[in-house]
Amino acid sequence: MGVEYKQYLLPKEHSFQPSPKQLESLINGLYEQGWLCRPGSEDFAKLDFSLMSTFAKAKETGGFRNEPNRKDASEPIPYPLKSEWFAKRLPSDLRLVWPIYYFDDLKSLRYPLNQHAGYPGIYYELELQITAEYMHRCSEIIDPLSSVDCQCGEKLLHYPENEPFFEGRIYRNCPKCGVFFDPGKFVSTCRDAWTRQENQVPGGATSCFALVVDCGKSLPKLEAETVIEIHHDLKQLVEDSLSVKCYEQYDIY
Ligand SMILES: [Zn+2]
């Protein structure tokens, strides 16, 4: 354990689903505030998309929609990105990825976490994860929710094929009785990767939306005294654009 790191920004209202207009506003803000490189800019020209074959689709605009199970569904993310693009695709699951290789070559891009490792060769992928049903994120340090069953007894956890995240889903509404399922009524045990201290987190890391900073093996500086967080301004941008309060959870594996 401990070779790859991810930070999730998740809505406190677990059932929250952003509208196409809200997503357009968020992505405009990501460019305006310097969290993404504008195509045609000096920094954009320095980005390296040659490291992974999947990055080829990001060469022109910096980002791509990734569906590893369905090659035909991978496509460049347009720039600028308009609400109509989302309106055409939602409520399908969408995995939008902007690879940043390498951060330390760039002059004006802002690092999305509160600190970075400070050595040459820093990279990460900024990702938006949008799903039609709840994504039930579990790992070595994030346990499953304490219940994923409807009050009528129906099992709500299922594993759809051809989805881009390789994670289970929980139905928002029970397919048998129609009752709404609120993950926030249940908890997930989340362990501190270093101290193994356990926290009971309402809703765990289950949501229909997340902004993710996937650091891969380019770990932020991990010290017992530093809590790694999404940069305050970036968290504020997400909360303002989507009109939803957020919390954070990390994963290390
Ligand atoms: Zn039910």
Question: What is the arithmetic mean of pLDDT over 75-82?
Answer: 94
Q: Determine the pLDDT at residue 226.
A: 78
Q: Tell whether 198 is covered by a domain.
A: no
- Residue 151 Cα to ligand 1 midpoint, Å, equals 6
Q: How many domains does the chain have?
A: 1
Q: Determine the pLDDT at residue 127.
A: 98
Binned at pLDDT 50, 70 and 90, residue 72 comes out as low
Whether the predicted pLDDT of 26 surpasses 80? yes
Q: Name the strand (E) or helix (H) holding 180.
A: none
* Mean pLDDT, rounded, of the chain: 93
Q: Tell whether 169 is covered by a domain.
A: no
- Residue 205 Cα to ligand 1 midpoint, Å, equals 22
Q: Tell whether 159 is covered by a domain.
A: no
Is the CB of residue 103 less than 8 Å from the CB of residue 215?
Answer: no
- Residue 181 Cα to ligand 1 midpoint, Å, equals 9
- Residue 123 Cα to ligand 1 midpoint, Å, equals 44
Q: Which residues contact 235 (CB under 8 A, 6 or more apart)?
A: 9, 229, 246, 248
Is the CB of residue 195 less than 8 Å from the CB of residue 252?
Answer: no
- Residue 161 Cα to ligand 1 midpoint, Å, equals 23
Whole-angstrom distance, CA of residue 83 vs CA of residue 28: 11
Q: Determine the pLDDT at residue 116.
A: 84
- Residue 244 Cα to ligand 1 midpoint, Å, equals 27
- Residue 171 Cα to ligand 1 midpoint, Å, equals 10
Q: In terms of residue numbers, what domain contains 113?
A: 5-133+205-252
- Residue 130 Cα to ligand 1 midpoint, Å, equals 24
Binned at pLDDT 50, 70 and 90, residue 32 comes out as very high
- Residue 178 Cα to ligand 1 midpoint, Å, equals 6
- Residue 177 Cα to ligand 1 midpoint, Å, equals 4
Whole-angstrom distance, CA of residue 135 vs CA of residue 227: 25
Model's pTM, two decimal places? 0.95
Q: Tell whether 19 is covered by a domain.
A: yes
Is the CB of residue 237 less than 8 Å from the CB of residue 218?
Answer: no
- Residue 131 Cα to ligand 1 midpoint, Å, equals 21
- Which residue type is seen at 94? L
- Say how many residues make up the chain: 253
Whole-angstrom distance, CA of residue 17 vs CA of residue 166: 20
66 three-state secondary structure: coil
- Residue 197 Cα to ligand 1 midpoint, Å, equals 34
Q: Determine the pLDDT at residue 220.
A: 81
- Residue 24 Cα to ligand 1 midpoint, Å, equals 35
Q: Tell whether 67 is covered by a domain.
A: yes
Q: Tell whether 232 is covered by a domain.
A: yes
Q: Which residues contact 86 (CB under 8 A, 6 or more apart)?
A: 20, 23, 24, 94
- Residue 174 Cα to ligand 1 midpoint, Å, equals 5
- Residue 145 Cα to ligand 1 midpoint, Å, equals 17
